[in-house]
C-alpha cells in the first residue's frame, strides 16, 4: 500500500534567546535532532530562522508529519504558530534534505521574510505558503556557509 505524501508549512515567533553564538548553538541542536528524527520517520523539509521568526516546511507520510508537528506545537522555543498550508502533495519540495536550514542574514533576505510574515498577518496563507517555499528553495544552499561560520 502506498503512503500518501503530505506537507505542512507554518510560521512562528522565535523564542530563542541569547547572543548570536548562543542562538547558533541552539540551532545546531535543533537541526541535529530534527535531522535524526526526520530521517528515521521518512520526513524531509527546510527551516528558516529570520526576523525573529521561524518558517518551516515538513513533508512526508501523513502520520509522520502529524507526529512531528505535534512535537513542534509543544516546543517552548517558539510561539504564535500559524499553519499556512497543510495537505496532500504530489511531490516533495525538499527531497534531498532531512532538514535543510536557511538563515536570513544574507543581504536582501530580511525584507522577503518580513513580507511572508505580513502575508500571514493579513491571513493570506496561500500566498504565504508559496512565498515560504520560494524563499526556502532559494536559500537552502546557504546552510553549508552558515555551518562553517559557526
Measured distance CA(14)–CA(104) in Å, rounded:
13
Q: What is the dihedral of CA 114, 117, 121, 125, to 10 degrees?
A: 130
Count other C-beta atoms under 10 Å from residue 3's C-beta.
11
What mean pLDDT is predicted for residues 5-22?
A: 91
Phi, then psi, of 123 in degrees rounded to 5: 60, 30
What mean pLDDT is predicted for residues 99-113?
A: 69
Measured distance CA(135)–CA(46) in Å, rounded:
10
Measured distance CA(93)–CA(140) in Å, rounded:
12
What digits encode the pLDDT tens for the residues 52-70? 888 899 999 999 999 999 9
State yes or no: pLDDT of 109 exceeds 50: yes
Residues 6+ positions from 110 with CB-CB distance below 8 Å: 50, 51, 104
Residues 6+ positions from 12 with CB-CB distance below 8 Å: 53, 54, 78, 79, 80, 81, 82
Predicted local confidence at residue 45, as pLDDT: 93
Q: Are 79 and 12 in contact (CB under 8 A)?
A: yes
State yes or no: pLDDT of 95 exceeds 50: yes
Tell me how many domains the chain contains.
1
Q: Which residue has the higher pLDDT, 50 or 79?
A: 79
Domain that holds residue 95: 5-149
Instruction: Look up the CATH number of the domain holding residue 61.
Output: 3.30.70.100
Greatest Cα pair distance in the chain? 48
- The separation between CA 102 and the C-alpha centre of its own chain, rounded to angstroms, equals 9
Predicted local confidence at residue 1, as pLDDT: 42
Q: Which residue has the higher pLDDT, 1 or 34?
A: 34
Predicted local confidence at residue 91, as pLDDT: 94
DSSP class of residue 4? P
Query: What's the mean per-residue pLDDT of the chain?
Result: 84
What mean pLDDT is predicted for residues 9-33?
A: 89
Amino acid at each position: 500500500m502506498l503512503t500518501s505524501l503530505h506537507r505542512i508549512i507554518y510560521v512562528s515567533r522565535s523564542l530563542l534567546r541569547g547572543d548570536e553564538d548562543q542562538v547558533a548553538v541552539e540551532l545546531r541542536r535543533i537541526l541535529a535532532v530534527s535531522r535524526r528524527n526526520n530521517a528515521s520517520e521518512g520526513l524531509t523539509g527546510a527551516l528558516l530562522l529570520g526576523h525573529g521568526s521561524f518558517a518551516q516546511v515538513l513533508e512526508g507520510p501523513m502520520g509522520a508529519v502529524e507526529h512531528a508537528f505535534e512535537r513542534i506545537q509543544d516546543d517552548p522555543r517558539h510561539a504564535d504558530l500559524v499553519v499556512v498550508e497543510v495537505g496532500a502533495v504530489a511531490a516533495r519540495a525538499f527531497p534531498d534534505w532531512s532538514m535543510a536550514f536557511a538563515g536570513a542574514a544574507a543581504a536582501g533576505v530580511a525584507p522577503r521574510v518580513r513580507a511572508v510574515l505580513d502575508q500571514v498577518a493579513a491571513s493570506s496563507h496561500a500566498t504565504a505558503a508559496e512565498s515560504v517555499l520560494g524563499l526556502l528553495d532559494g536559500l537552502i544552499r546557504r546552510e553549508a556557509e552558515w555551518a562553517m561560520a559557526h
